[in-house]
């Protein structure tokens, strides 16, 4: 509809409608079947959208969509992921050239056929080519939460039949990588062979890619997520788990060590070179131990020095989910969250937390109904009152304050001073040059009330690259000023990344891990943040919200004092 230049109000109503349906606990199909219920009971769904939903339930599409698909190729939506074009540019391209694939778009840019169109130029062609390259890199990768729930569902399905002793996701999912290419699932037990048969009959399988005695591969779901299932004998399960967990670079380094010690390491086991005798393989611990190593947590298996650490007994003590005492970034219905403060607090209490910070948006995010100074002051007072009454969990009054284009804070300092915890975040003008962005962040860090730098690089996994800035310099300044770096645990962000976490830790940075929840169920994303922190070699002592309430309050006050 955007490409077709349709009315922006109508576009917005469709978009809001989609969000409403997605967040509604019941399926539209069931509502339609139930004479007692109406689709218009879903908040945000009027008569018009209800009719469209009925059409979709009826025959899988609707008239408006069918019309658009006559005019534009189905790949048109993919073009929207290419930076620099936008719906208007794409419409223009369709008007002049009959293209439908990314390859064709690339050829147009390469042959300098875009610059002849109005408002396009050589610079844009360059940008489009770069963005297509990035698009190709992302294509075929999935976010960690997608891979995790796909794995969980499949394991549940396969485990329903007996005869399975162990079933484990290996590969990048086990290492907790922020995106996953394919799922490598390992199975052992007398029923492992049958599990392969059962796998290719999995209702969500779209296409079987291969099916042998020990391995079956298929794509699962509409998104064609590839899954490789391997059936293994018990005596080599540990070796296979080690091998298929990877990473490839970790395996190469480990194999080199094995050879130096007179062993041969493969997915079948660890064997003595001289007589081919198996010396380990049933468990992963056994493999590492025989190679003179402590067991290495999968999150560290990226050939970052972990084999040396394990040999010398100095693997970092990695943070664990159960050590997190609170969540310091979340939104409520005051701005763009979907639950009240009380509901968020209740869910956090259910997770066993001692404290949370409520950090709604500031006024620059007008679309989200961000808080102005007056509302902030009232909110701080309200939170003091709530804590006096007691909710069974301590609430810190917070704010996710926009860092404006010039690095100023969105709200006046005396309002910020009323709050317990101010996060500063960039939500706009993310396309600045690195130098300007660095200056912007440096200025933001000067604000004495700033406690946390929120989602520091602004990346959206598979959608938006980190904005460029001088990371070392910002970390240096943040350390100097006692500003903590957020590890945003939302699976769409995972910002900071493991590599930046490691680099920041080496410079003395301190961190928070927070979910940026907009709904009570988002609080569950904490474990993605913890995995990312572990990949960044962080210990509980590096992370502020592992502190018990009293110490954490003390840490908050220290900045306020000095």
Q: Which residues bind ligand DGT (CB under 6 A)?
A: 171-172, 177, 180-182, 184, 243-244, 246-248, 251-252
User: Nearer to ligand DGT by C-beta: 301 or 375?
Assistant: 301
Q: Is residue 228 within the footprint of Ca ion (CB under 5 A)?
A: yes
Do 371 and 399 contact (CB within 8 A), yes or no? yes
User: Nearer to ligand DGT by C-beta: 177 or 534?
Assistant: 177
Tell the smallest beta-carbon distance from residue 169 to ligand DGT (Å).
9
Binding residues with Ca ion: total (CB under 5 A): 5
For the record, the structure tokens of 409 come out as: 């804070």
Choose the one of Ca ion, Zn ion, ligand DGT, none that binds residue 107, judging by a C-beta under 5 to 8 angstroms depending on kind.
none
C-alpha span between 247 and 101 (Å, rounded): 33
C-alpha span between 68 and 74 (Å, rounded): 9
Q: Which residues of 152-181 are buried (b: 16+ CB within 10 A; e: fewer)?
A: eebbebbeeeeebeebbbbbbbbbbbbbbe
How far from the centroid of its chain's Cα atoms is residue 560's Cα? 32
Tell the smallest beta-carbon distance from residue 493 to Zn ion (Å).
9
User: Nearer to Ca ion by C-beta: 147 or 310?
Assistant: 147
Q: Name the residue number minimizing CB distance to Zn ion.
A: 425
User: Nearer to ligand DGT by C-beta: 172 or 515?
Assistant: 172
Choose the one of Zn ion, ligand DGT, Ca ion, none that binds residue 458, judging by a C-beta under 5 to 8 angstroms depending on kind.
none
Choose the one of Zn ion, ligand DGT, Ca ion, none that binds residue 425, judging by a C-beta under 5 to 8 angstroms depending on kind.
Zn ion
Q: Which helix (H) or strand (E) holds 343?
A: helix 341-350
C-alpha span between 150 and 160 (Å, rounded): 16
User: Nearer to Ca ion by C-beta: 171 or 407?
Assistant: 171
Tell the smallest beta-carbon distance from residue 228 to ligand DGT (Å).
7
Choose the one of ligand DGT, Ca ion, Zn ion, none that binds residue 327, judging by a C-beta under 5 to 8 angstroms depending on kind.
none
Tell the smallest beta-carbon distance from residue 248 to ligand DGT (Å).
4
Do 381 and 344 contact (CB within 8 A), yes or no? no
Binding mask 154-173 for Ca ion (x = CB under 5 A): -----------------xx-
C-alpha span between 20 and 37 (Å, rounded): 16
Q: Is residue 182 within the footprint of Ca ion (CB under 5 A)?
A: yes
Question: Please, which residues have CB within 8 angstroms of residue 396's CB and are 6 or more apart in sequence?
Answer: 328, 355, 356, 357, 358, 383, 420, 421, 556
Q: Is residue 184 within the footprint of Ca ion (CB under 5 A)?
A: yes
Pairing of strands 278-280, 225-232: unpaired
User: Nearer to Ca ion by C-beta: 229 or 395?
Assistant: 229
Tell the smallest beta-carbon distance from residue 464 to Zn ion (Å).
13
User: Nearer to ligand DGT by C-beta: 185 or 399?
Assistant: 185
Extended beta strands in 128-204, E state: 142-143, 166-169, 179-180, 183-188
Tell the smallest beta-carbon distance from residue 513 to Zn ion (Å).
15
Tell the smallest beta-carbon distance from residue 226 to Ca ion (Å).
7
Backbone φ and ψ of 219, nearest 5°:
-95, 145
Q: What share of residues in the chain are helix, strand, coil (percent, to 5)?
A: 45, 15, 35
Choose the one of Ca ion, ligand DGT, Zn ion, none that binds residue 248, judging by a C-beta under 5 to 8 angstroms depending on kind.
ligand DGT
List residues binding Zn ion (CB under 5 A). Answer: 425
Q: Is residue 458 within the footprint of Ca ion (CB under 5 A)?
A: no
Question: Please, which residues have CB within 8 angstroms of residue 329's CB and are 6 or more apart in sequence?
Answer: 357, 359, 398, 400, 423, 452, 454, 486, 488, 512, 514, 515, 516, 517
Picking from 86, 96, 130, the residue whose alpha carbon sits closest to that of residue 110 is: 130
Q: Name the residue number minimizing CB distance to Ca ion.
A: 171
Q: Which helix (H) or strand (E) holds 451?
A: strand 450-453
Tell the smallest beta-carbon distance from residue 177 to ligand DGT (Å).
6
Window contacting Ca ion (CB under 5 A); options: 103-111, 223-231, 266-274, 548-556: 223-231
Interface contacts to Ca ion, rule CB under 5 A: 171-172, 182, 184, 228
């Amino acid at each position: 509809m955007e490409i077709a230049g349709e009315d922006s109000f109508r576009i917005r109503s469709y978009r809001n409608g989609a969000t409403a349906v997605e967040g509604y606990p019941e399926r539209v199909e069931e509502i339609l079947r139930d004479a007692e219920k109406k689709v218009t009971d879903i908040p945000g769904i009027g008569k018009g959208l209800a009719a469209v939903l009925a059409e979709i339930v009826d025959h899988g599409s609707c008239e408006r969509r069918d019309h658009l698909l006559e005019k534009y190729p189905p790949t048109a939506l993919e073009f929207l992921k290419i930076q620099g074009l936008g719906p208007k540019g794409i419409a223009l391209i369709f008007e002049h050239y009959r293209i439908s694939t990314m390859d064709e778009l690339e050829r147009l840019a390469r042959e300098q056929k875009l610059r002849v169109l109005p408002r396009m130029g050589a610079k844009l062609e360059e940008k489009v080519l770069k963005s297509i390259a990035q698009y190709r890199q992302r294509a075929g990768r999935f976010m960690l939460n997608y891979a995790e729930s796909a794995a969980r569902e499949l394991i549940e399905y396969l485990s329903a039949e007996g005869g399975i002793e162990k079933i484990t996701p290996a590969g990048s999912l086990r290492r907790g990588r922020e995106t996953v290419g394919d799922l490598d699932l390992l199975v052992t037990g007398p029923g492992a062979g049958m599990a392969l048969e059962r796998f290719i009959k999995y209702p969500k399988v779209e296409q079987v890619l291969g099916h042998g005695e020990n391995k079956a591969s298929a794509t699962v779901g509409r998104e064609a997520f590839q899954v490789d299932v391997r059936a293994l004998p018990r005596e080599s399960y540990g070796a296979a788990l080690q091998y298929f967990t990877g990473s490839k670079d970790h395996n190469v380094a480990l194999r080199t060590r094995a050879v130096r010690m007179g062993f041969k390491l493969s997915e079948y086991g660890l064997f003595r070179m001289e007589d081919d005798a198996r010396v380990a393989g049933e468990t992963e611990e056994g493999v590492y131990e025989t190679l003179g190593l402590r067991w290495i947590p999968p999150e560290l298996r990226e050939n970052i020095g972990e084999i040396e650490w394990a040999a010398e007994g100095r693997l970092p003590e990695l943070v664990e989910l159960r050590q997190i005492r609170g969540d310091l970034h979340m939104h409520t219905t005051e701005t763009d969250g979907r639950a009240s403060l009380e509901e968020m607090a209740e869910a956090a209490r259910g997770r066993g937390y001692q404290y949370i910070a409520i950090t709604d948006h500031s006024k620059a995010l007008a679309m989200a109904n961000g808080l102005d100074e007056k509302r902030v002051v009232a909110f701080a007072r309200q939170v003091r009152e709530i804590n006096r009454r007691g909710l069974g969990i301590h609430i810190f009054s917070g704010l996710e304050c926009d860092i404006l284009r010039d690095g100023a804070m969105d709200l006046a300092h005396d309002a910020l001073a009323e709050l317990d915890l101010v996060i500063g975040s960039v939500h706009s003008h993310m396309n600045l040059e690195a130098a300007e962005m660095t200056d912007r962040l440096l200025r933001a860090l000067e604000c004495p009330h700033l406690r946390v730098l929120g989602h520091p690089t602004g990346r959206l996994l598979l959608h938006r690259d980190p904005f460029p800035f001088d990371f070392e310099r910002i970390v240096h300044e943040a350390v100097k000023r006692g500003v903590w770096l957020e590890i945003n645990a939302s699976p769409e962000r995972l910002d900071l990344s493991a590599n930046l976490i490691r680099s920041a830790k080496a410079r003395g940075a301190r961190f928070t891990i927070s979910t940026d929840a907009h709904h009570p169920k988002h609080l569950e994303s904490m474990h993605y943040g913890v995995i990312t922190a572990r990949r960044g070699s962080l210990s509980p002592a590096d992370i502020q919200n592992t502190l018990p309430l009293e110490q954490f309050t003390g840490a908050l006050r220290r900045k306020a004092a000095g």
